Amino acid sequence: MQGAGFIALVGTLIVVPTIPVAGMALILGIDRFLSTVRALVNMIGNGVGTIVISTSEKEIDGAGLRQTLGLREN
């Protein structure tokens, strides 16, 4: 769930009086961008992990994978 981490952060930082609440708007903008980046990195990692495991189990067709990805044979 996007934003749940931000809600937890705000709830934690509210008890610290030295952090201005107005700064939360800046953090919200950065957190939204970072959430998108985290989701992208997670998706890429899942794809790489799938390829690595299927290669180690000899369950992947290398030629078919190259064709699907649009790569040329060497």
DSSP label at 22? T
**49 part of a folded domain:** yes
User: Which amino acid is residue 18, in one-letter code?
Assistant: T
Helix (H) or strand (E) holding 44: helix 23-56
**11 part of a folded domain:** yes
> Which whole number is the average pLDDT over 8-22?
76
Which range of residues forms the domain containing residue 52? Answer: 4-69
**51 part of a folded domain:** yes
pTM of the model: 0.61
What sign does the dihedral 34-40-46-52 (CA atoms) show? negative
**62 part of a folded domain:** yes
Q: What is the pLDDT of residue 40?
A: 95
CA–CA gap between residue 67 and residue 73 (Å, rounded): 9
> Could you tell me if 5 and 35 are in contact, meaning their C-beta atoms sit under 8 angstroms apart?
yes
- Count of structural domains within the chain: 1
**19 part of a folded domain:** yes
Give per-residue pLDDT as tens, 30-69: 878 888 898 999 999 999 999 999 989 989 888 888 888 8
**74 part of a folded domain:** no
**16 part of a folded domain:** yes
Residue 2 has pLDDT above 70, yes or no: no
